Structure 1
């Protein structure tokens, strides 16, 4: 369901009139150094329970402007890509955990992000300035353009805040009553979520095959479903952190996912968050926020998977890109520069 044009303009105006200062502020911007090892960077992300962090050039002084100081973003997805590269063609190798432990301790995180075009400088390192950007830009970037984060920078200075889809959800939750017609519409009314070609994995799939499928399908998580297509759990790029921090668990890479489920260990030790097509958008937002997850699974009365609602799908409902927006041109220009 599309909102009436007048309502779309009203919602756009609401966000365009909101400053980036209205977003929840972080106590401290957590960074990793380019000279940090993969193991160190992974520990930093895990210690602060975050999925990504800007990578600071270790050769730059503390007072260097942000444009010179940061070389990209370290996140769970490129750690997953790195891990898969390390374990390919390792069948029969003894002490694989020791090999990974050694490699993770002696590989700089800068090399990892340089090898992955999706996490190199400005891809997806997106800077925003309070003087030039508004909340409407943030909503479009993290909604329509499916970016996971953006950095608020002080021109000539440093990063002052990190905007994630989760922090944006907190902002939306605080302003739900501004959008009664939208948030009280149902999932069915809004035709919300991905229904076709849902990528999933089966109980007999191994952890490694699930991670490979995520990489090949360019997704950060997969639902784990049984023969009846009922959701049992979720495998995500976040789980890579555990394998890198505890290489002894690498022996589970080639074990079927049903083993993890039976043992009730990560990644299947958390409740799967579901909703139905009759739930309202308000309810979906409440579930995403309460459970601190990035997706909700839409199921029918028999608990059979019907669609997947990602955080970006929710964010995208609130705004429509104006005709004079320059965001698409920015991405075109950035893609050309990366070639």
Structure 2
């Protein structure tokens, strides 16, 4: 009886251990489940392949349809007859940077490429408004459209004239109050500016496209988000963003394929990609409008704010922050000039007053070149920010690492990979000026 009891206890311990092992393998999230799928593919790759070639092969064999579904409040479409004011409110309420624009005049049976006009973005709206007040290039003289004339007249009525970098410094705190209460802002439709404000056209993936295609679009081709369309419905089924991919990577810690890459130092992966004198930045006494114009011109998502007379970053302004100019203009009312420093101060005071959580309230995310890419991913995912600043021992700014930079180090584009993928998908806007 004693032996039977002992054997029973041993059997129970074995079952308990096996159950514990199975539980440890059980994915803690949809992203981790996806990571285990990549792990299974990793284990069967040819041994002569390099780690990068292995990752490419793994991601090429995972369809985009396997990526976890974005929250329903993130998959937002904006109708082409929506006003600028309404579009800004929609983007702000859902805490998203951009949304696809649906052509309300498209027939019901239209294909997805005819259904969507492009993407509307916070920064695009602001830059478009500012751009309309600037004189056209002498090389391309033309008569202004009625919409541009209205914009110029509206801004002129605010006694601002041309909003170049110098005059933008004079922009008083009540400028955006007057702008957001104007008929021009309330009545101009999203479709009126489509083609002139676009950073990128509406470029979508099909469910059958691979992870590798998606990762390359989000990195090398600088897409901040990629819609996935259902060909049968001709509508968006999912939207995959850079932060969603970083979150997936953060959920894959402990898996062999991730650890073999993630334990490398940032410097070993060639990050940051720029030298200190190549960093795109604004000084704290420069106009905040200059920051957003730089983001548009350089196609970047944020810029560091540098202390006057030094090289230390005192803050960060990103695309997501532009909505504070359009949704809470009253917070700048008492400022004679909305400089980068005044912008940061006003927004922080506003957030603290309303007890709203925001990365702007926390310290800037910094790292050193000796940290691992895994540590950086976990930090960016936890803080829900899109970039980290590389600093030297004395605190001087040495570089910037974005989500796009990280994804770009995960995969590479095989020669001739995209073929004719972009043909017919990237139409040149007819009235493109921005």
TM-score bucket (shorter structure): 0.7 to 0.9
- Partner residue in 2 for 1:98: 178
Matched, 1:193 2:272: yes
Structure 2 counterparts to residues 52-71 of structure 1, below 5 A: 52-60=98-106, 64-71=110-117
- How far does residue 57 in structure 1 lie from its aligned partner after superposition? 1.4
Of 239, 248, 268, which residue of structure 1 is paired with 2:321? 239
CA distance in 1, matches of 2:112, 2:424: 21
Q: Higher mean Cα deviation, 154-163 or 97-106?
A: 97-106
- How far does residue 98 in structure 1 lie from its aligned partner after superposition? 2.9
CA distance in 2, matches of 1:113, 1:310: 27
Matched, 1:155 2:231: yes
CA contact (8 A) 2:124 2:198 kept: no
CA contact (8 A) 1:86 1:100 kept: no
Matched pairs, number: 330
- Post-superposition CA distance 1:53-78 (Å, at most 9, x none): 11111234666542332111111231
- SS in structure 2 opposite 1:118? coil
Q: Higher mean Cα deviation, 87-96 or 317-326?
A: 87-96
- SS in structure 1 opposite 2:361? coil
CA distance in 2, matches of 1:215, 1:250: 23
- Partner residue in 2 for 1:24: 68
- How far does residue 208 in structure 1 lie from its aligned partner after superposition? 2.1
- Partner residue in 1 for 2:363: 271
Of 159, 172, 175, which residue of structure 1 is paired with 2:252? 175
CA contact (8 A) 1:80 1:237 kept: no
- Partner residue in 1 for 2:401: 309
Of 375, 389, 393, which residue of structure 2 is paired with 1:297? 389
- SS in structure 2 opposite 1:74? strand
- SS in structure 1 opposite 2:226? strand
CA distance in 2, matches of 1:106, 1:250: 24
CA distance in 2, matches of 1:307, 1:269: 22
- How far does residue 144 in structure 1 lie from its aligned partner after superposition? 1.7
From the superposition, tell whether residues 222 and 330 of structure 1 become closer, same or farther in structure 2 (CA, over 3 Å): same
CA contact (8 A) 1:151 1:161 kept: yes
Matched, 1:184 2:230: no
- Partner residue in 1 for 2:210: 134
- Partner residue in 2 for 1:74: 120
Larger radius of gyration: 2
- Partner residue in 2 for 1:107: 188
- How far does residue 18 in structure 1 lie from its aligned partner after superposition? 1.4
- Partner residue in 1 for 2:152: none
- Partner residue in 2 for 1:146: 222
CA distance in 1, matches of 2:423, 2:77: 28
Q: Higher mean Cα deviation, 276-285 or 64-73?
A: 64-73
From the superposition, tell whether residues 332 and 21 of structure 1 become closer, same or farther in structure 2 (CA, over 3 Å): closer
Q: Which runs of 5+ in 2 are unaligned?
A: 1-47, 135-154, 161-171, 351-358
- Partner residue in 2 for 1:286: 378
- Post-superposition CA distance 1:39-96 (Å, at most 9, x none): 1011111111111111111234666542332111111231231242367664636974
Q: Higher mean Cα deviation, 209-218 or 46-55?
A: 209-218
- SS in structure 2 opposite 1:179? helix
Q: CA RMSD in A?
A: 2.7
- SS in structure 2 opposite 1:152? strand
- Post-superposition CA distance 1:205-244 (Å, at most 9, x none): 1212322333333323110011331111111232221212
- Partner residue in 2 for 1:207: 288
Q: Which runs of 5+ in 1 are unaligned?
A: none
- SS in structure 1 opposite 2:291? helix
